[in-house]
Chain A
Amino acid sequence: MNENTVKIKDPVLSIRNLSVSYEKGKYAVNDVSADIKRNAVTAIMGPSGCGKSTMLRAINRMHELYENIETKGTLIMNGKDITHMPTIQLRRMAGMVFQRPNPFPTMSIYDNVVAGYKLNGIRMKRSERDDIVERSLRDVTLWDEVKDNLHRKGTFLSGGQQQRLCIARALAFDPEVILLDEPTSALDPVATAKIEDLLVKLKENYSILMVTHNMAQAARISDYSMFMYLGELVEYDKTKDMFTNPRDRRTEEYLTGKFG
C-alpha cells in the first residue's frame, strides 16, 4: 500500500498486489493494492489505457476470457480469499454491468432478469422467481415502466432502460459487489442522470465499484475515488478530498485537465 492510499475499515473487497500482464513484461495493472468500502460508490478514473477496466475485470476474472493473460496478487472478499474461487461462483458474488447495454435480445424482460439463474440451470419455484424479478426491477426503478410487458422482449426499451435492466440482471444474484465498466458512456444525459441517481440509491444495499472516464461523474456520485495511470494506482482517497486536495502531481494534472 503506498502512502497515497486511504485506509478502509471492514472492506467488502481487498485487492492485494494485483498485477495483470497481457504480454510478458508489460503490465496493464501493476502491483495495485486497495480496500473497497462497503455500501459506498467507489470510482476508478484515469486516461484511456491506464488499466482501469482491466483491473475491474480482474476482480470477477472476466479478463481470463482472453488468452495469454497472467495475473498475480490476491483478492479477498468479506475476509475470504477468492483469488482461486471457481469463476461460476465468483461471478455471482461480483455482478457486472458493461459499457453498452447488452440485454439478451432473444429473451423476455423477465427472463433477462433471471438470466443468471437460467444460464446456470438453477431451478426454483415460480413464486421465488417472480419475487426476484420484481425486487430486482424495483431496485433499478424499472418495475413501474415494464411491469405490464414483462414477457415481451427487452429490445423495445430505450438505451437507459436497457442499461437499468442489465443492472437488475446483475442484482438478481444479490451480489457482494457490483462492478460497472463505464456504464453510462453509451447513454444520453437524461438516461445518465437516472443511472447516477440509481447508483447512489443502490449503495444502501450494495457495494459499488465503477470505472468511469468522466471526472464530473466521479465527483457527483462517488464516495471514494481511485486515480490510475499507466497501470499504477497513483492515488486513492475520499472523492471530496481527492478533488479538492490531490496528493500526487499526476492526479492534480489529470483533474485539472492537463492530460487524459
Chain B
Amino acid sequence: MNSDKITKAVLFASSFVILLIAGGMIFSLAGGAIPAIKAFGLKFIWANTWNPTEGQENYGALPFIAGTILTSIAALLISLPLSFSASLFLGEYFRGTRLARILGTMVDLLAGIPSIVYGLWGFYVLRPMLIAVGLPNQGFGIFTASIILAIMIIPYATSLSTEIITMVPGELKEAAYSLGATRTEVIFSVIVPSARSGIVAGYILSFGRALGETMAVTMLIGNANKIPDSFFGTGNTMASVIANQFGEADGLKLSSLIAIGLLLFLMTGVINSLGKFIIKKMG
C-alpha cells in the first residue's frame, strides 16, 4: 500500500468512528426512551406531572420544558444589552486598542470558567445578594438561574457578534461618514444593519447553549418539579432534572429521564442548525 492509500484509510476510519459514536448516542437515547414513549405516548411532552410514587408512576416533561425555555429566554434578554454593547465596543468603537484587548481577554476568560465554578459563585455570592433584596425561596429559583445563565452565555454572543461587526467593510463606513453621518449614526444605521443576521445568529447559538447548561443551573434553580408559578419562584430545567435524579432512577423513571434527554438533544440540535443556517445564508 502506498502512503496516499494509508492516509485515506486512516482518515476514513477515524471519521467513521466519530459517526458511529454520534449515531450510537442517538440510537441508545431513543432506545432508552422507548418504555416512556410506550407508556405515555406523545402526551409525555405536554403532560404537567412528575409522580414517582410506586404504583402511580406518571411522568411528563412539561415542567422541565417550561423551566428550560423560561430560564433560557430570560438569560438571553438579560445578556443581550451587555453582549450587544460589548461587541460594538470590541468590534468598532475601541477596535484594536489596548482597552479592547483587555475586555476581549476578559470575555474569553468568562467562556473558559467551568460551569461548577459559576454555580459555586451563584450559590455563595449571588444568592445571598438576592436574598438581601427580598427574593423568596432562600434565593433559589428561575430568576437566580437566569442571571447565572446570562453571565455564562455573554461570551458566545459577544465573540460571534464582534467578529461579524469587524467584517463590515470599511468602504460602507466611509460612505456614511462622507455623507456627514456621526459615529453613532454610522454604528446604528450602517454597521448594525449590515451585521444584523450575524448578530441574530450569535444570539440563537448562545440561546442553544443556555438550553443545555446544567451544573450551575441545577445548583440555583431550586429543583421543584413543577411549572414555575412565578419568575421568582423555583422550577427545574430538562438538564437539571436529569442531573438531579438519574442516580436513583430506574425503570419507567429512568426511561422518562432519557426521553427528556432526547427532547433536549433535539431542541438544541434545531436551535444550533438554525443559527448555523443563518450564518451560512449570509455567507
Contacts and interface: CB of A to CB of B under 8 A. Distances in A.
Say whether A and B bind each other. Answer: yes
Interface of A: 60, 62, 65, 87-92, 95-96, 98, 100, 102-106, 115-116, 118-121, 166, 169-170, 173
27 contacts: A62-B177, A87-B177, A88-B180, A90-B180, A91-B179, A92-B180, A95-B178, A95-B179, A96-B178, A98-B171, A98-B174, A98-B178, A102-B169, A102-B172, A103-B175, A106-B193, A116-B179, A119-B176, A119-B179, A119-B181, A120-B179, A120-B185, A121-B185, A169-B175, A170-B178, A170-B179, A173-B179
A102 B180 contact: no
Interface residue range, chain B: 10 to 19
Contact of B176 (A92, A115, A170): A115
Nearest to B195: A106
A89 B181 CA distance: 10
A100 B180 CA distance: 19
B39 to A, nearest CB: 52
A104 B180 contact: no
B107 interface: no
B174 A102 contact: yes
A211 B172 CA distance: 20
B179 A169 contact: yes
A103 B179 CA distance: 12
A120 B176 CA distance: 10
Nearest to B179: A116
Which 7 pairs show the lowest CB-CB distances between chains A and B? A116-B179, A96-B178, A119-B181, A91-B180, A106-B193, A102-B171, A88-B180
A169 B181 CA distance: 13
Contacts of B49: none
Contact of A98 (B175, B181, B190): B175
Interface string B177-201: 1111110011001100110100000
Contacts of A169: 175, 179
Contacts of B180: 87-92, 116, 119-120, 173
B178 A104 contact: no
A116 B171 CA distance: 15
B178 A62 contact: yes
Contact of A104 (B172, B177, B182): B172
